[in-house]
Amino acid sequence: MSLPSRRDLLAGASASLLAGCGPSRRPNVLLVLLDQLRAAALSAHGETNIATPHMDRLLDEATAFDCAWTANPVCAPARASLWTGLLSTTHGVYDNGWRFDPRHETVAQPLARAGYRTGYIGKWHLYGRSNPGFVPPSHRAGFDHWQAYNVSHKDRDLQWFEDASSPLRPTPRDAFGPDVQVDQALDFMRSSTGRPWFLVVSFGPPHPPGNAPLADWSPHLPDGALDRVDPQSLGLRPNVPEWIRSTNEAFRLADGSPDPGAHAYLHGYYASILAMDDVVGRLVAGVDRVAPDTLIVFTSDHGEQGGSHGLYGKSEPYAESLEVPLGFRWPGVVPRSRRLEAPVSLLDLAPTLLDLAGARPLRRQHGRSLADVLLGAAPPDDRAVLAEGSVAGRAWHALRTRRWTYVQRHSPRAASLFDHATDPWQLADLAGDPSLRGVQTQLSDQLALARAVLD
C-alpha cells in the first residue's frame, strides 16, 4: 500500500476547508500585476511619502509576504519566470526584447486543461520588441481570452489587440489605460459563467513612460495626478546619495540636459503609484460585486531603484529592484491580516496557483507551492530564494535568506554580502570581512548548490 503524497494530503486539507460550499468553490483566480512597483513604495511596507490605502487594504485582507523576490529584476525575464516557474537560464528570456519560446509550459495551460477559462489583459512583453505589438495566438502561452499588447507605456494612448492584428482603442482616446483595463476585466468576469476562470490584469504603471531619468511623467498619468505629490517634501531613503538627489550631471535626459534628480523622478513615480492605488481599489470593489468568491493575487514583476545606490530603473541585485509586494486574498479560505517574514520567490506563484486550483503541476518548475502555507497546513520555513540577472552584460546571481543577501557577480568575479538585521539599506558591503568568512562561505556554497540543482 502506497502512502498518500503531500499533494493528496493538501487536497484533503483544501476539501475540508471548502466543505459544504459546492463545486463552484474551486476558486476563480485574478492576478493583479503591476509593473516596476517596489514593495517599499507601499505604506503597508513602510512608505511615508504617500499613502496607498487600497493596496494596503488588499494586503491586509490577505496573507502577505514581507520578503518576496522577483526571479529577475527586468520586465521580460521576470514575466517569463512568473508564467513558467523557471529561471531565465532555463526559459531562455534573458532581457527585454527577447521572445519567449511557446514550447515552455506555462501556468495557464494546466489550468485550461483543468476546466478553467483563461484570460490576459494588458502588457505581455514576451514577443520581442514589437510596440505596441500584436501577439499571435501561437505565442499567447495558453491564454485564450486576449485583450493585450506586447509592450507600450503610453498609458494615455492605449492600444490593444484581440484576435485580429489591427489595434483597438478606447473612447475617449486619451482615457487612462488602467481604467479601461478594469472595465475589460469586469466584463470578462461577467461573461465567465459555468466554469472557473483565471485572469491576469497586467497594468503598465508605475513603470515610467520612457527611459530613466525623466523630466516629465505627465503623458503617463491621469489629469492632476502630479499635483497629488509635492516633490520638495519627499523624504528620500538613506541609500540615495546626495549627488543624485537634485540636478546632477551624471545622467542626461534625451535632449542632453542634466538629470533633474531623484526628487523629480520620484515625484512622477509616486504620482503614478497613487493613480494605480485608485485603480486597484476600483478593481477589487468590482470583483467583490461581480465575483466575490475570487482568489486575488497582488504583485509586481520587479521593483524600482528610484535613486537608491545612485541608480534609476531596475536590473541591480538590490532590495529596491528585487523586493515586490505579494499577497493572496481568498475570503474565508486564506487567512487575512497575516504577514509572513520568510523569503519567497515569484517562481513560487505558478506552482501555488495550480495547487490551489487542483490542477496538475508544471512538468518542470524551479519554484514550489506555497498552498500549504496559505491554507495553514504548514508553517513557512527559512529557505533561501534565488534570483539572477545582468547589468551591462555582466551576469550576477543572488541568494536571500531572512538575514543575508549574498550576490555573486561574474566577469569579473566579485561578491557582495549584506546583513539585513543591521543594515536594511544595504549601505555596508561585508564581503571580505574576516569575521564573516564562514557566513560568506556557507552562502556561496548554498548558492552554488542551488544553481547546480536548478540547472
Q: What is the pLDDT of residues 204-258, one digit of tens each?
A: 999 999 888 887 898 889 999 999 999 989 999 999 999 999 999 889 988 899 9
Lowest-confidence segment of 256-260, 340-344, 409-413 by average pLDDT? 409-413
pLDDT band at 23 (very low <50, low <70, confident <90, very high): very low
Q: Reduced to 3 states, what is the DSSP secondary structure of residue 193?
A: coil
Instruction: Quote the pLDDT of residue 261.
Output: 95
Instruction: Quote the pLDDT of residue 255.
Output: 86
H runs (alpha helix) in 164-301:
177-191, 242-245, 262-290
Q: Is 99 exposed, middle or buried (0-12, 13-18, 19+ CB in 10 A)?
A: middle
Question: What CATH number matches the domain at 26-379, 3.40.720.10, 3.10.560.10, 2.30.29.30, 3.40.50.2300?
Answer: 3.40.720.10
Instruction: Quote the pLDDT of residue 415.
Output: 96
pLDDT surpasses 70 at 1: no
pLDDT surpasses 90 at 453: no
This prediction has a pTM of 0.94
The ranges assigned to domains in the chain are: 26-379, 403-454
Are residues 182 and 170 in contact, defined by beta-carbon separation less than 8 angstroms? Answer: no
Instruction: Quote the pLDDT of residue 417.
Output: 98
pLDDT surpasses 90 at 409: yes
Are residues 375 and 416 in contact, defined by beta-carbon separation less than 8 angstroms? Answer: no
Query: pLDDT per residue over 122-154, tens digit each?
Result: 999 999 999 999 999 999 999 999 999 999 999
For residue 391, which of 453, 269, 305 has the smallest C-alpha distance? Answer: 305
Residues 6+ apart with CB under 8 A from 280: 32, 54, 55, 58, 298
Q: What are phi and psi of 160, to 5 degrees?
A: -140, 170
Percent of the chain with pLDDT over 90: 85
Are residues 444 and 406 in contact, defined by beta-carbon separation less than 8 angstroms? Answer: yes
Query: pLDDT per residue over 358-403, tens digit each?
Result: 999 999 999 999 999 999 888 888 889 999 999 988 999 999 999 9
For residue 387, which of 71, 36, 39, 38 has the smallest C-alpha distance? Answer: 71
Are residues 41 and 307 in contact, defined by beta-carbon separation less than 8 angstroms? Answer: no
Instruction: Quote the pLDDT of residue 379.
Output: 86
